[in-house]
Structure 1
Amino acid sequence: MITSHMNGYVQEASGQAKNHRERAVDCPGEESSIVKSPRSSAHMERIQHYQEELRKRREEESRGKHDIDPNASLRLKKLAQNPKVGIDNPTFEGKEKATKEICSLDPLAEVAELLQALKWAQHCLHDTQSQQDVELVMQLVAKEDFRNAFAIYSAVSQQMAMVSPTSPLTAQAEDLCMEAHDTVAGHEIAEESVSQYLGETVKLVRLQKARDTPLGATVRNDMDSVLVSRVVKGGAAEKSGLLSEGDEILEINGISIRGKHVNEVHDLLQQMQGTLTFLLIPSSQIKPAAHRQTVMHVRAYFDYDPSDDPFVPCRELGLSFQKGDILHVISQDDPNWWQAYRDGDEDNQPLAGLIPGKSFQQHRETLKRTITDRSREQQGKIWYAKKGRKQRKKTVTTLNRNTDFDDIPTYEEMSLYHQPANRKRPIALIGPTNSGHDELRRRLLSIEPEKFAVAVPYTTRNIRIHERNGREYHFVSRPAFETDLAAGKFIESGEFGKNLYGTSTDSVRHVVNSGRICLLCLHTRSLQILRTSNLKPYVIFIAPPSQERLRTLLATEGKTPKPEDLKEIIEKAREMEHDFGHFFDATIVNMDPDPAFYELRRLIDKLDTEPQWVPTSWLC
């Protein structure tokens, strides 16, 4: 089952690498992926052809100009019969009557009347350039696309003309009209009207596209159709509420879209500004009731680069992030691809970006690990093929244990938390041996002992003369220690000299309740227990510097490590950051003891003045 899923993903990825299913209509992308349209050059060739034809026919057509009867136009007859209703001086009653009579005409007949009127006007002109301009207009009117658009316009105009008068009837109404005009003029244009077009219900949508505000929609091809596949939060399309997923785009500003590739649509819309008029066939899908989605804040536990992801539906809208970043998820309508902003980038990022959904990311991480595990298993079979039966059985058991992927880190829901003045969060310093985290803790304790403290550990060894129970250690019996260890009360524990030692959650909680800051130096494997203890720790990773700088720092402490020891420290740090970096709240590279100490103090002091992101589960 897993293999078949992976094959499907690979096939889909190879197809998307060649041609993405979606394309952002007006977001910048790679120029090589955009199909340039030869529309402009072809248009100029047609104009030159029209001009040549005009020169040839001008002399022939001028002979019959007196044969054109201006009364042949029904529209002109209507205007002649109503002299009070003109362009310059209309009255409401006459205009309404004329409008009803004119709108009752068949749209195709009106186009024919318009052509007749243009032909009559052309022969009344003596200027050659003007005659050529009229000829171009006549060629446009004769096109089928113009007739279809005029049919829609006539249907909408007929409905609009019967709704209300186009001019105010009283002085008070005129004032209200001007006030409404000023109000509308101050907002973005967003209009919608519905009518019938060639037997289809069509929607005419007008949106205002500013230069610095992207439209915020993606389109995809479905045979010859161009469909709206995604409306992205933060764009003009989403704010208007007039574009929906599944709408088919027929025209944009009078330009036919059907049959165009999504790259051509992207190229076309990038060049358009101002008012955009969309002719759409509304989606047949039942649109769910609009509801206000709550924003979910998550911390990412993996790095993501959309340029390296063959599955992302629209690469231009992919949002890159790194492990530990806070993401504000504002839409989960598509469970596989959420829409989100990166924390701190809301002002500079007008459109939401696409990130993998949690279940989708977990599923493909499982597939990756399955393939990796099977590859290692195959290598293991080759390696131990000649070994004994006992060794072979042991190796197989180890490999099978690694196939448990129930706990794959992707995202963790977060909330802002401001620590109380009398209940400070414990500070956990994490780092490999000789990274300097122990020295930083000792320095804090020596400078401000009234502010910082350590948790008193537990031990099973015998108490010594100068020691007092509860001050240096909590001295307990071995059975009592093992009972608490089995109950999960120890953050970390170990055995030295046949004696058990450990730091319990009760000891940390005792320091927190005293109002002081508990300082801990822990191993990475202790983080999981500490995070589930409801102690709300703040974890700081102390990373070593370069190998040469690390050698210099250790030399000042009288240490002379071998080159392989230095390399091991740095490799261990990389391993910690790779495996547990999603638990770190901050990282300090210990290049120099003093700057590292001051940075540590700054991070601790910030907890008193600024709220911090913590797992939402801690606040329940």
Structure 2
Amino acid sequence: MIMSHMNGYVQEASGQAKSHRERAVDCPGEESSLVKSPHCSAHMERIQHYQEELKKRREEDSRGKHDIDPNASLRLKKLSQNPKVGIDNPTFEGKEKATKDTCSQEAVVGELKELVELLQALKWAQHCLTDAQSQQDAELIMQLLSKEDFRNAYTIYSAVSQQMTRVSPTSPLTAQAEDLCQEVQKILQSSQQMEGLELKALLTNPHLQALMQAHDSVAGQEMSEEDVVEYHGETVKLVRLEKARDTPLGATVRNDMDSVVVSRVVKGGAAERSGLLSEGDEILEINGISIRGKHVNEVHDLLQQMQGTLTFLLIPSSQIKPAPHRQTVMHVRAYFDYDPSDDPFLPCRELGLSFQKGDILHVISQDDPSWWQAYRDGDEDNQPLAGLIPGKSFQQQRETLKKTITDRSREHQGKLWYAKKNIKKRKKSTSTLSRTTDYDDILTYEEMSLYHQPANRKRPIALIGPTNSGHDELRRRLLSIEPEKFAVAVPHTTRNSRIHELNGREYHFVSRPAFETDLAAGKFIESGEYEKNLYGTSTDSVRHIINSGRICLLCLHTRSLQILRSSNLKPYVIFIAPPSQERLRTLLATEGKTPKPEELKEVIEKAREMEQNFGHFFDATIVNMDPDQAFHELRRLIDKLDTEPQWVPTSWLC
């Protein structure tokens, strides 16, 4: 049942990948395998007809802005009816010539009328004034207004002011002013010249940085426009986006029959920042070039050559858009390796994000549950667009299917082999294989958060490694050099105490029933039996060291890691890996050990096995090439916990 369901899922996904193959419109990559779709001439004729009508309408609107009817201007109409003040006013005969531009003519005559009205108002005010000083002041003002130099200066001022009010704000040259400032700051880092230092101080000023940030925010909105019109009952959308040379558009397209459809809007691109392109929009034209009927590879090549303002003619998606909500970033640690070039289900190979087991990924969009958009930690500056990674549920389904096929194959082989044996052994094998179909432990991603350890509660350090890798020696060296800073947890045992031993110093001596009760309750990180006595390290013993303000050092077997991580101790796990076989032989020889070649090989193989099966639990790895270098690297990692926050499972902080 499971097998058939998953097979159907894969077939559906495979068919979907073939029929809905996406192509990033402006990212270089391999050619798509889609076949070019036929052209729909009827629809294109309708769109072209609409384009001609739209062009005529815009030309008429443009002419209307410049051809002003004098009768439409209330001021010109009044001037033409006034016998005293008009275009050919005798008061200013020969002083002003009528311009050919009716807009300028209206402005000039209007401003002259204002001067005449002001002179008339001053004369009326002068008759109303009773004191001689006020009448003299009014006379001086009227003389000033009547002078030719003043009238000329006022005319020039009025013309410039009128022109300035008519000019609309210019479009921003860039929406990356903040990035340009940072780039200039980097260039000026090594400058010692006075001008360079002054410019650097200016660019680092918080107020100027805030201004640049505000400028980019406004510029991003100004550089993106959208017009929606009705044509033959169908909504057609005109979208203008600004595509910079170093900023990708950030969208993928797919062929759907003879249409080119926006399949995905990628975070970090101009399309996503503008909010004008939506998934499901059909692209009809780009900068006047017909797109319908083109192959997605042709669209990719076309947009690769375009820069500056891009004008899209779109048929908006009929899908109901969900209410906009603030996307929250989810930080995850990957528990598997991923190579996009090997994934046949990846919808757009150019946007696939490769990563390795243990990498931290910042997931910024889960709109598509099968394909998340993410950045790899540390690569945000070099990765302008978010990359596509498999979603958690989708990857678990694929891993489940892969494991099912593998287990069925092994089971089939096992049955063939055991058919030659007795029935009892064959039944035992079958029951063992059936238990391997439990997929609850399939690991894909784990949500992570940054954690800074408190000064009085140090994280325990767990050193992991195979025998003879050197992890025991490193722990002993730390304890001997700084015993006041490092300590080991006092273990529990069921054996009797010896004469020189004190309870709670060498061991916690407990009865066997008490030990077994605590063991069943999950209070031991690790435990074992030696010479009929039980031994173990409890979480309470580790917590006692932590509460004392010291760092607890642990040397554990890998099977204890799951228990340690499920506790609330927040361990920092360091894997001590052995060097090459020859180097390992040399290091052990300095300690007086003469291991056999097969023993050296076993150490290397054991380390590889531990890293393969438990590497997702390791916070850091040290290859023990040289004991002194390994020790200094270990100290550096431990000291870093006091100065830098570390990624830990989010469940630890709940």
Which residue, out of 388, 413, 421, partners 1:354? 388
Contact residue 156 and residue 193 of structure 1 kept, 8 A: no
2:609 pairs with 1:578: no
Which residues in structure 2 correspond to 1:48-87 (within 5 Å)? Answer: none
What is the alpha-carbon distance in structure 1 between the residues aligned to residue 603 and residue 23 of structure 2? 47
Q: CA deviation at 1:566?
A: 1.4
Cα drift, residue 152 of structure 1 = 2.6
1:153 counterpart (20, 41, 55)? 55
Equivalent runs, 1:319-330 vs 2, <5 Å: 319-330=353-364
Alignment of 1:24-103 (within 5 A): 24-30=24-30
Deviation per residue, 1:269-316 (Å, 9 max, x gap)? 111111111000001111111111111111111111111001111000
Find out whether 1:267 has 2:317 as its counterpart.
Answer: no
Match of 2:227 in 1: 193
The separation in 1 between residues aligned to 2:58 and 2:487, in whole angstroms, is 78
* Counterpart for residue 289 of structure 2: 255
Structure 1's 397 and 153: CA in aligned 2 closer, same or farther, altered over 3 A? same
Aligned to 2:400, what secondary structure does the other structure show? helix
SS of alignment partner, residue 354 of structure 1: strand
Name the structure 1 match of 2:448. 414
8 Å contact 1:34–1:267 — kept in the other structure?
Answer: no
**Aligned equivalents of 1:486, 1:508: Cα separation in 2:** 18
Aligned counterpart, 1:519 = 553
State whether structure 2 residue 21 is matched by structure 1 residue 21. yes
Counterpart amino acid of residue 454 in structure 1: V
Residue 372 of structure 1 deviates from its aligned partner by: 0.9
Flag the 1:323–1:163 CA change in 2: closer, same or farther, 3 A.
farther
Q: Which residue of 2 aligns with 1:469?
A: 503
Matched length: 515
Would the aligned equivalents of 1:247 and 1:280 in 2 still touch at CA under 8 Å?
Answer: yes
Residue by residue over 1:474-506, the C-alpha shift from the partner in whole angstroms, topping out at 9 and shown as x without a partner, is 010101000000000000000000000000000
Q: Separation in 2 of the partners of 1:268 and 1:183?
A: 25
Residue 294 of structure 1 corresponds to 328
Query: What are the equivalent positions in structure 2 for 1:485-504 lying under 5 Å apart?
Result: 485-504=519-538
CA contact 1:34–1:264 (8 Å) conserved in 2: no
Q: 8 Å contact 2:31–2:297 — kept in the other structure?
A: no
- Report the CA distance shift for 1:357/1:162 in structure 2 as closer, same or farther (over 3 A): farther
Could you say if the C-alpha distance between residues 483 and 456 of structure 1 is closer, same or farther in structure 2, counting changes exceeding 3 Å?
same
Asked if structure 2 preserves the Cα contact closer than 8 Å seen for 1:152 and 1:197, the reply is no
Instruction: Give the conservation status (yes or no) of the 8 Å contact 2:237–2:316.
Output: yes
Structure 2: distance between partners of 1:596 and 1:312? 41
Residue 369 of structure 1 pairs with residue 407 of structure 2: no
Change (3 A) 1:602 1:236: same
Q: How does 1:175-574 map to 2 (within 5 A)?
A: 175=164, 180-181=169-170, 187-188=219-220, 189-574=223-608
Shift of 1:396: 1.6
Q: Is the 8 A contact 1:152 1:195 kept in 2?
A: no
394-403 vs 478-487, which deviates more?
A: 394-403
Give the equivalent residue in structure 1 for 2:121. Answer: none
* CA deviation string 1:396-439 (max 9, x = no partner): 22111111101211111111100011110000001111111111
Question: C-alpha separation between the residues in 1 aligned to 2:459 and 2:493?
Answer: 25
| CA distance 1:185–1:502, shift in 2 (3 Å) | closer
- Aligned CA distance change for structure 1 residues 395 and 145 (closer, same or farther; 3 Å): closer
Q: Give the match's secondary structure for 2:319.
A: coil
How far off its partner does 1:264 sit?
A: 1.0
Describe the shift of the 1:225–1:449 C-alpha distance in structure 2 as closer, same or farther (beyond 3 A). Answer: same
Residue 578 of structure 1, CA deviation: 1.1
- State the distance in 1 between where 2:368 and 2:66 align: 43
* CA displacement at 1:173 relative to structure 2: 7.4
Q: Is the contact between residue 419 and residue 607 of structure 1 (CA under 8 Å) also seen in structure 2?
A: yes
Letter in 1 for 2:4: S
Residue 376 of structure 1 deviates from its aligned partner by 1.0
The separation in 1 between residues aligned to 2:276 and 2:62, in whole angstroms, is 19
Shift of the alpha carbon at 1:33? Answer: 6.6
Change (3 A) 1:161 1:457: farther
How far off its partner does 1:365 sit? 0.6
Q: Deviations over 1:11-32 (max 9, x none)?
A: 4576578776111011010268
Matched with 2:99 is none
Q: 3-state SS of the aligned residue for 2:434?
A: helix
Quote how far apart the aligned CAs of 1:387 are.
1.8
Give 2:78's aligned residue. Answer: none
Question: CA distance change for structure 1 residues 275 and 532 in 2, over 3 Å: closer, same or farther?
Answer: same
Letter in structure 2 aligned against 1:431: G
Residue 550 of structure 1, CA deviation: 1.3
Gaps of at least 5 residues in structure 1 are 38-142
C-alpha RMSD over aligned residues: 2.7
- Distance (Å, rounded) in 2 between the aligned partners of 1:526 and 1:177: 77
Distance apart, 1:263 and its partner CA: 1.0
Structure 1 residues 381 and 442 mapped into 2: Cα distance closer, same or farther (>3 Å)? same
Residue 350 of structure 1: SS of its match in structure 2? Answer: coil
1:21 is matched by which residue type in structure 2?
R
Instruction: Show the counterpart of 1:73.
Output: none
Partner of 2:169: helix, strand, or coil? helix
Q: C-alpha separation between the residues in 2 aligned to 1:374 and 1:233? A: 41
CA contact (8 A) 1:155 1:195 kept: no
Structure of higher CA gyration radius:
2
- 1:457 and 1:507 in contact (8 A); partners too: yes
Amino acid at match of 1:191: E
Residues 32 and 338 of structure 1: is their aligned pair in 2 closer, same or farther, counting only changes over 3 Å? closer
User: TM-score, normalization: structure 1?
Assistant: 0.78
Deviation of the 1:571 alpha carbon = 1.2
In 2 relative to 1, CA 400–31 (structure 1 residues): closer, same or farther, beyond 3 Å?
closer
Counterparts of 1:500 and 1:246 in 2: how far apart (Å)? 65
What secondary structure does 2:545 align onto?
Answer: helix
Task: After superposition, give the CA deviation of every residue in 1:46-77 in whole Å (9 maximum; x if it has no partner).
Answer: xxxxxxxxxxxxxxxxxxxxxxxxxxxxxxxx
Aligned-pair CA distance for 1:553:
1.3
* Aligned 8 A contact 1:244 1:283 in 2: yes
Report how far residue 375 of structure 1 moved. 1.0
In the alignment, the residues of structure 2 paired with residue 430 and residue 176 of structure 1 have an alpha-carbon distance, to the nearest angstrom, of: 74
Structure 2 residues without counterparts, runs of 5 or longer: 38-44, 69-102, 108-157, 176-218
Report if aligned partners of 2:21, 2:32 keep a CA contact under 8 Å in 1: no
Deviation string 1:62-111 (CA, Å, 9 cap, x unpaired) is xxxxxxxxxxxxxxxxxxxxxxxxxxxxxxxxxxxxxxxxxxxxxxxxxx
Range 340-349 or range 2-11, more displaced = 2-11
How many angstroms apart in 2 are the aligned matches of 1:19 and 1:611?
46
Q: 1:580 to 1:445 in 2, by over 3 A?
A: same
Give 2:462's aligned amino acid. Answer: A
For each residue in 1:453-481, what CA deviation from the matched residue of structure 2 results, as whole angstroms up to 9, or x when unmatched? 00000000110011111111001010100
Deviation at 1:220, TM superposition (A): 0.7
Once the two structures are TM-superposed, the CA of residue 545 in structure 1 deviates from its matched residue by 1.1
CA distance in 2, matches of 1:359, 1:255: 41
Q: Shift in Å at residue 532 of structure 1?
A: 1.2
Note the C-alpha offset of 1:146.
5.9
Q: Which amino acid aligns with 1:149?
A: Q
